[in-house]
C-alpha cells in the first residue's frame, strides 16, 4: 500500500500543543514555537494507559454498587444506585430518559474499558490487524469520553433543588464520588494512549530492510 511518508521517516515531530511540525535534528526537548515538551510518542503511553484504566475499573465496582443519592419524601427515605435510577425511569414509561442515562452512565464506561483494553493488547502484540478500524475506535472513545459525567451533574442539580427539610430532601451519596473518579480516570487513560502506536509495526517483523538512520 502506498502511503504518505511518516514524521519519523522524515525526522520530524508533531508538537501536540500548537500543531507545529518540528525538525528533530539536534533532538530538541521543547517545541521552538510554544515551548511544550516534544516527544515522538507520548511518554510511557502503554503503562500509563493501563494504570489509569485499571484504576478506573477498580472504581467502577463501588460506583455501580453504592448508592449515588438518597431521596427523602415525607419522612420515608430511599437510596438509589445508578441502575435503580434507570429502572425507575423505565418503569414510569420514560424509556427515552432511561436510555440516555443507561448509555451515558453504564454503557459508555463499559465500552471504554473494552475498547481501550483491546487497543492496548493489540498494540502490545504489534498486531497489524484492522488498523484503520482500530484508529476509528480510538477516536470514538475520545469523543464519547466525558459524556459519562452526565449522572454526576444530574445528581448535583437535583440535590441542590430538592431541599425542603422534612417534606422532601435529596442528598448525594458516596457512589457519585466513585462514579466521577471512573469518568476522570477513563478520560486520563484515553488521553495517555498514543494512537500512533497502532501504526508502528515492530521494526524486526515488517520492515527488515528499513535502516533506522533517522
Partner 1 sequence: MDTPERLIICEHCDCVYQTVTLARHQKTLCLRCGAVLQRYSGLTIQQRLALSCAAAVFWLFANFYPVMSISLKGLKNSATLWDSVLALSQGPITFIAMIAAISIIIAPAFQLVLLIWVLGFALAARRSPGFTLCMRWLETLRPWSMLEVCLLGALVAVFKLAGMLDVLPGIGLLALAVLSLLLIRIAGRDVRDLWEVL
From 49, 65, 59, select the one nearest 141 (Cα to Cα).
49
Using CB under 8 A as the binding criterion, the count of chain residues that bind partner 1 stands at 73
Binding status of residue 20 toward partner 1 by CB under 8 A:
yes
Q: Using CB under 8 A, which of 103, 127, 172, 201 touches partner 1?
A: 172
* Closest separation in Å from C-beta 205 to partner 1: 18
* Contact call for residues 39 and 27 (beta carbons, < 8 A): no
CA distance 56 to 175: 14
207: contact with partner 1 by CB under 8 A = no
Can you name the residues that pair with 14 across neighbouring β-strands?
21
Q: Of 25, 33, 38, 206, which lies in the binding site for partner 1, with binding defined by CB under 8 A?
A: 33
Binding mask 41-80 for partner 1 (x = CB under 8 A): --------------------------------x-------
Q: Select 36 or 210, whichever has its Cβ closest to partner 1.
A: 36
| Stretch touching partner 1 by CB under 8 A, among 43-51, 108-116, 117-125, 165-173 | 165-173
Q: Which stretch binds partner 1 (CB under 8 A): 55-63, 110-118, 121-129, 136-144?
A: 136-144
122 in Cβ contact with 145 (< 8 Å):
no
Q: Give the β-pairing of 69-73 and 168-172.
A: antiparallel
Cβ nearer to partner 1, comparing 16 with 48: 16
Neighbours of 198 (CB within 10 A): 21
CA atoms within 13 Å, Cβ hemisphere of 206: 8
Amino acid at each position: 500500500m502506498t502511503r504518505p511518508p511518516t514524521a519519523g521517516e522524515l525526522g520530524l515531530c508533531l508538537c501536540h500543543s500548537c500543531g507545529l511540525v518540528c525538525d528533530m535534528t539536534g533532538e530538541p526537548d521543547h517545541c521552538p514555537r510554544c515551548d511544550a515538551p516534544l516527544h515522538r510518542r507520548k511518554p510511557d503511553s502503554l503503562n500509563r494507559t493501563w494504570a489509569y484504566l485499571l484504576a478506573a475499573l477498580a472504581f467502577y465496582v463501588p460506583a455501580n454498587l453504592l448508592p449515588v443519592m438518597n431521596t427523602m419524601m415525607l419522612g420515608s427515605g430511599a437510596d438509589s444506585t445508578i441502575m435503580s435510577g434507570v429502572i425507575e425511569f423505565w418503569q414510569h414509561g420514560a424509556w427515552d430518559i432511561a436510555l440516555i442515562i443507561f448509555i451515558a452512565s453504564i454503557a459508555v464506561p463499559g465500552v471504554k474499558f473494552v475498547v481501550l483494553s483491546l487497543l492496548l493488547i493489540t498494540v502490545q502484540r504489534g498486531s497489524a490487524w484492522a488498523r484503520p478500524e482500530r484508529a476509528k475506535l480510538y477516536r470514538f472513545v475520545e469523543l464519547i469520553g466525558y459524556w459519562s459525567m452526565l449522572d454526576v451533574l444530574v445528581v448535583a442539580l437535583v440535590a441542590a433543588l430538592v431541599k425542603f427539610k422534612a417534606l422532601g430532601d435529596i442528598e448525594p451519596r458516596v457512589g457519585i464520588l466513585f462514579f466521577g473518579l471512573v469518568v476522570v480516570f477513563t478520560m486520563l487513560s484515553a488521553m495517555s494512549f498514543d494512537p500512533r502506536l497502532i501504526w508502528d509495526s515492530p521494526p524486526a517483523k515488517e520492515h527488515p530492510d528499513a535502516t533506522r538512520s533517522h
